[in-house]
Amino acid sequence: RDICVQKERKMKRAISGITCFAFNKDFSMVALSPNNEEVHIYKTNSKKDCKKWEPTPTYILTEHTGVVSSIDWCNETGFLLTCAHDRNAYVWSFKEKEDVWEPSLVLLRVNRAATMCRWSPEGNKFAVASSAKIVAICHYEEKHKWWPSKPTKKHKSTVLSVAWCPNNKFIVTGSTDYRCRIISAFDPERDSEDDEHGFGAVFKNQHVFGEILAEFSVSKAWVHDVAWSPSAFRLAFTGQGSTIHFVQITSDGPPEVTTIRHNALPFLSVEFLSNKCVVASGFDAAPYIFVASDSYGAEPEWELKGKVDKKKGAKSPRSKGKFSASRNMFERVSVRAEKTATSPQLATLHQNQIMETIPFYNEDGFASSFATAGLDGNIFHWDLLKCGFKLAEVKDSEE
């Protein structure tokens, strides 16, 4: 298997874990936050193999005063976007002559922590979710050299996640009010009114900024993460109740939702690798693959295909049962006079929860591999084909 590990002795960072990370367009650099207010940028030497990355950060960005919660790198402009619990967001541009990253001001106007930030597909605006119950849609004003924001105020609690539709006009959000919502982020100065995806028949008010186009309450729990498929007609979102939900948007009726209740711990991250393949990961410290029966049909059947991490060795502590694990811990402390009870090794490569997943898309829009980062301070690269999955199972078929 093509799996890359960030060794703690080699990568002198992230002792307390990685909360978020992002690659630039050509994968020559990676930006990550080691669970604090800093952003570290490493040179990868254009290698997916983490062992071949530079061992120390080339740049350290220190503008934030709170824990950095999200990072996104724009493929169109090369700008780096960060947001943090200090209620701020910054757009960083690289000044080659001075060899420094320079931040520009973002007027978020939120009074709570910023939780996630994402560039739009065209790179002319971005969205920042927050605990202030809003998602700020930001754009650049050349006259003032800053990024003002326009809020969407349809949420009733903290917004944990946000993702853009490929048409650059809609966002999908996940919130702790148990809702997943599709909201219009249309900007008449930056978006075309042409309906090339055909959403006009589905969402009548698609060009009304802030309008809720669809809302899903099937999760019955916090919605941790959301994702939009490359075709734009499928969504995925994950719930705290160990559920994952798939939405099919059709032109002849309301969107259809398929719910899968899995035995793993709740997923914190979800991404489409193709229109018929989704990877989800989280508290279970391992990625899981879900596949649909087709790529473009109106009634796909989703199923859990398998666990990507098939590491052999140590048994999972959950397999022994809670009572047995508690009894063994008590025995180590009381009978053997051990001062602390050491945690058993998980039967996964990640030894703590996975915080984020980044697909590596090919030119045809298919991602046969992806990277994960976790609170154990590791980044792993996974190749589906080398992990036992068949190409026909995960790659889109002909339309």
Tens digit of each residue's pLDDT (9 = 90 or more) over 120-174 = 999 999 999 999 999 999 999 998 899 999 999 999 999 999 999 999 999 999 9
Which pLDDT score is estimated for 364?
A: 86
CA atoms of 170 and 42, how far apart (whole Å): 32
What three-state secondary structure class fits 201?
helix
Q: Classify residue 397 as exposed, middle or buried by CB count within 10 Å of its CB (0-12, 13-18, 19+).
A: exposed
Give the DSSP letter of residue 109: -
What tokens does 270 get? 């979800």
CA distances from 271 to 31, 111, 162, 331, 359 (A): 19, 29, 12, 43, 7
Given a contact cutoff of 8 angstroms between Cβ atoms, the answer to whether 110 and 136 are in contact is: yes
Which pLDDT score is estimated for 311?
A: 67
Q: How high does pLDDT run on average in the chain?
A: 89
Residue-wise pLDDT tens digits, 283-305: 999 999 999 999 999 999 999 99
Q: Which of 299, 250, 267 is closest to 372 using CA atoms? A: 267
User: Whole-structure pTM over 0.75, yes or no?
Assistant: yes
Q: Which of 286, 284, 280 is closest to 303 using CA atoms? A: 280
Which pLDDT score is estimated for 317?
A: 42
291 beta partners:
277, 303
Given a contact cutoff of 8 angstroms between Cβ atoms, the answer to whether 21 and 356 are in contact is: yes
- More confident of the two residues 344 and 274: 274
Give the DSSP letter of residue 277: E
Degrees, nearest 5: CA angle 64-22-8: 85
Give the DSSP letter of residue 125: E
Percent of the chain exceeding pLDDT 70 equals: 88
